[in-house]
Structure 1
Amino acid sequence: MSSNKLNVEGIMLFEQPFARVPYENYRKVFRTSQKNIEKELSAVQATSSDLAKRTKGDDGSSADGAMKAIDGMITRVENLKRKLSELQDSAGIPTQSVMRERLEHLAAVENVESANTPEFQRWADVRLDRWLVDWALRNGKEKTARKIAEEKGIERLVDIDLFSDICRIEEALGRKSCTEALAWCSENKSALRRFKNTLEFDLRLQEYIELARARKNMDAMVYARKYLLAWQDTHLAQIHQASALLCFPPTTSCGPYKRLYDPARWANLTQSFRLAIYNLSTLPTEPLLHLAMYAGLASLKLPACYDPETKNVDCPVCDPSLGRLAEEVPFSHHVNSTIVCRLSGKIMDGDNMPLAFPVSGQVYSREALEDMAAKHNGVVTCPRTGETCGYSSLRKVFIS
């Protein structure tokens, strides 16, 4: 089997969010359509059942009432048709188009046999562009992300609209407003319930705290009865604590209530919201670019990378910037050790044996030292210690 054979399964592990985001969006369109159908058809069925139960009479008033009821049913059905058509045109069809294009993009790599083919190189370039856009969006650089997507023609392959919504809601939370986030919770209530996510309660509790901070105690009590009591089965202790908050001013030094008044709760809410929307959209919490780099760095990271005397300028882990990412990944684990020449970067093995300088013991590959000797009349020099000797003086090193 060729060592360059494409690992399609490994590639697809990174691509699950890529296909899942538009799928979740289409599910949302479907659920909205279903709710509208159930609501309007239930009313139509109720009206038709009422008409069927009416006693037949000869007077015109009964016939007029029936006609009005039928006209009302027709109007409801026509309104339902219009709503569904608008929803399909505005969200359904565009989402279907995005899903189709993304699946076709993934299907293209399944027919590629080798990583060295031009087809895969083009596909990998598009993937890197997608990851750069993802990184830019996660770091608040929306204009940069849009520019890259536009220039590369990959608008349908990236989630700019999703991150635009995230940015809008996080900006509102930064202004200490829960309105946008609560609207999002309302749209995704069933999904949040399925994941047992309590973001909505946390937002409601924060609005209650802000009323208590403003010393609007009556408004706070009304708010608690309307929005917090619905969570008493799962958050009774927190509701009790929130009720007692009205007895403490914002300047209190009492630990539990001082923490409730802590402005840092807004930053925690922003983080909780981002985790919730990532979870619902099946997005990883780290940029995809970082995850791919983690995978590569984990295969290269060695203890020697953190020794100032053995740092390699060609090693990504030894690089000061990439090395910070490498701090979060484990060391590379090799069942069989691999020794790489520091001059040529090639693996030293039976075909390219390691040779050592007689005094310093510095080891380099036979190919690299032969090339050096050919250029300097049979003399080789260690680049680390400056030791010089004839090529014939080098000692063979046997790997065991």
Structure 2
Amino acid sequence: MSTNKLNVEGVMLFEQPFARVPYENYRKVFRASQRNIEKEFAPVQTAAHDLAKRSKTGHSSTDDAIKSIDGMITRVENLKRKLSDLHTSSGTPTLGVMRERLQHLATVEDMQSTSSPEFARWADIRLDRWLVDWSLRNNKVKTAKTIAAERGVERLVDIELFSDIRRIEEALKRQTCTEALAWCSENKAALRKNTLEFDLRLQEYIELARAQKHVEAIAYSKKHLLPWQETHLPQIRQASALLCFPPTTACGPYKRLYDLARWTTLVQSFRLAIYNLSTLPSEPLLHLAMYAGLASLKLPACYDTHRKNIDCPVCDSNLGRLAEEVPFSHHVNSTIVCRISGKIMDEDNMPLVFPNGQVYSKEALEDMAARNDGTVRCPRTGEKCNFSDLRKVFIS
């Protein structure tokens, strides 16, 4: 029973992004509300101070005071409408998603065993979420939406987030930074230590230089690159010198700046930045979960074409490529597995050896002999012999 005890802390290691994504979405709603409040309240406060000052000095008529108050009321009503629309369209739904996800995670704390039906159902939902995550990361949006709809997990997956990622990445592939810069502006506070915005600004400058628009490039540099001079002065100096070189230059440093492969690097940098912001791993969650299982099964024999086991996941060609990134399994006590049945050979299921030296389990060979009138056949070499010709092998 103790081996089936649920490790809640281990389960939660994979769930930080699950709760973090809606939190980040709601934080955007909060920041937008804050900007609207600051924008509308500043003129209201200024008008109120002016009205109070004129009233004290007697320079304000009743009509002017009413007009000023009406203007303040209009601004406050506009602010109220904006905040209401913002929270109705984004705030309330995001809070609902956050609440539902936290409730989903809270149910695990009440489970005691991995063998309980409740955990099996919870694990099925988790697998559905991981399959949707894998599909979204591999641009299989229709598949992701179909799985989410059929399994009823739309509010437990991040389809909107990955739709935004795909939209911005597609824009970068079209060699435009507008969408990515807008995203940087929305998340400026969280990206303080990230150089993505500077890299995007530099790329826009490079495109102006590529188009031989030198005047526009100089103006752009003054407005968008010089504010970064404290941290990126060498890059800014090199970019300034770029105007002296045509796009066809063979000079190494400037040829690299004109290289169109920089757009691919920007796509990767953007994806890394948005993943870090949402605490999403760079690998699909499904892969991370599979790594743990593959690491416990991976053996050198799995990569020997003559010793593959059909029941071993690592011996499978596709999973074997995934398993290349994990270490080999470490066994204090070795076990011998039958290549026919996949069962462990021990004192209750002794290994038997063919005359050619190939070893298989007694149970598998007895079953083969019963179906072939006492004759057994080596699956690896095709050699046949009588079951009575097999010899016992003792494990030491």
- Of 232, 238, 243, 2:240 maps to 243
1:384 and 2:380 matched: yes
The CA deviation string for residues 90-141 of structure 1, in whole angstroms up to 9 with x for no partner, is 1110001111222222223333333333333332222222222211211112
The CA deviation string for residues 231-277 of structure 1, in whole angstroms up to 9 with x for no partner, is 00100010000111111111111111111111111111111111111
In 1, the alpha carbon distance for the partners of 2:212 and 2:9 equals 58
Describe the SS at the equivalent of 1:189.
coil
Residue identity over aligned pairs, in percent, reads 73
The CA deviation string for residues 362-398 of structure 1, in whole angstroms up to 9 with x for no partner, is 3334444455566667765544353635559632412
Identify the range of structure 1 (128-137 vs 246-255) with the bigger mean alpha-carbon deviation: 128-137
Identify the range of structure 1 (385-394 vs 78-87) with the bigger mean alpha-carbon deviation: 385-394
Describe the SS at the equivalent of 2:259.
coil
Structure 1 pair 4–341 and aligned structure 2 pair: CA distance change class (3 A) = farther
Structure 1 pair 110–380 and aligned structure 2 pair: CA distance change class (3 A) = farther
The CA deviation string for residues 144-192 of structure 1, in whole angstroms up to 9 with x for no partner, is 2222222222211111111111111111111111111111111111111
1:356 and 2:352 matched: yes
The amino acid that maps onto 1:239 is I
Partner of 1:268: 265
Describe the SS at the equivalent of 1:10.
helix
Structure 1 pair 371–236 and aligned structure 2 pair: CA distance change class (3 A) = same
The amino acid that maps onto 2:50 is D
The amino acid that maps onto 1:237 is P
Identify the range of structure 1 (315-324 vs 215-224) with the bigger mean alpha-carbon deviation: 315-324
The CA deviation string for residues 283-316 of structure 1, in whole angstroms up to 9 with x for no partner, is 1111112222222211111111111221112211
**Deviation at residue 327 of structure 1 after TM alignment:** 1.5
In 2, the alpha carbon distance for the partners of 1:296 and 1:272 equals 30
Structure 1 gaps of 5+ residues are none
- Of 316, 320, 341, 2:317 maps to 320
In 2, the alpha carbon distance for the partners of 1:320 and 1:273 equals 32
Describe the SS at the equivalent of 1:3.
helix
The amino acid that maps onto 2:252 is G
1:124 and 2:120 matched: no
1:35 and 2:35 matched: yes
Structure 1 consecutive aligned stretches of length 4 or more whose deviation exceeds 4 Å = 369-382, 389-393
Partner of 1:83: 82
Partner of 1:145: 144
Partner of 1:334: 331
Structure 2 gaps of 5+ residues are none
Structure 1 pair 186–357 and aligned structure 2 pair: CA distance change class (3 A) = same
The amino acid that maps onto 1:140 is N
The amino acid that maps onto 2:239 is A
The amino acid that maps onto 2:360 is Y
Partner of 2:70: 71
Partner of 1:11: 11
In 2, the alpha carbon distance for the partners of 1:353 and 1:198 equals 62
TM-score w.r.t. the length of structure 2 is 0.92
Partner of 1:311: 308
Describe the SS at the equivalent of 2:34.
helix
Mapping of residues 174-213 of structure 1, within 5 Å = 174-193=173-192, 196-213=193-210
Equivalent pair of 1:115/1:121 in contact (CA under 8 Å)? yes
Partner of 2:46: 46
In 2, the alpha carbon distance for the partners of 1:9 and 1:94 equals 29
1:134 and 2:133 matched: yes
1:344 and 2:341 matched: yes
In 1, the alpha carbon distance for the partners of 2:112 and 2:336 equals 30
Partner of 1:294: 291
Equivalent pair of 2:309/2:342 in contact (CA under 8 Å)? no
Partner of 1:254: 251
In 1, the alpha carbon distance for the partners of 2:276 and 2:23 equals 14
**Deviation at residue 318 of structure 1 after TM alignment:** 1.2
Equivalent pair of 1:353/1:397 in contact (CA under 8 Å)? no
**Deviation at residue 52 of structure 1 after TM alignment:** 3.4
Number of equivalenced pairs: 395
**Deviation at residue 76 of structure 1 after TM alignment:** 2.2
**Deviation at residue 84 of structure 1 after TM alignment:** 1.1
In 2, the alpha carbon distance for the partners of 1:270 and 1:244 equals 26
Describe the SS at the equivalent of 1:356.
strand
Mapping of residues 89-128 of structure 1, within 5 Å = 89-128=88-127
**Deviation at residue 5 of structure 1 after TM alignment:** 2.9
The CA deviation string for residues 313-358 of structure 1, in whole angstroms up to 9 with x for no partner, is 22111111221111122111223323323233222345x3533327
Structure 1 pair 314–46 and aligned structure 2 pair: CA distance change class (3 A) = same
The amino acid that maps onto 1:206 is Q
In 1, the alpha carbon distance for the partners of 2:344 and 2:136 equals 40
1:26 and 2:26 matched: yes
What's the RMSD between the two structures over aligned residues?
2.3
Describe the SS at the equivalent of 2:351.
strand
**Deviation at residue 48 of structure 1 after TM alignment:** 2.8
Structure 1 pair 8–303 and aligned structure 2 pair: CA distance change class (3 A) = same
Partner of 1:279: 276
Equivalent pair of 1:373/1:391 in contact (CA under 8 Å)? no
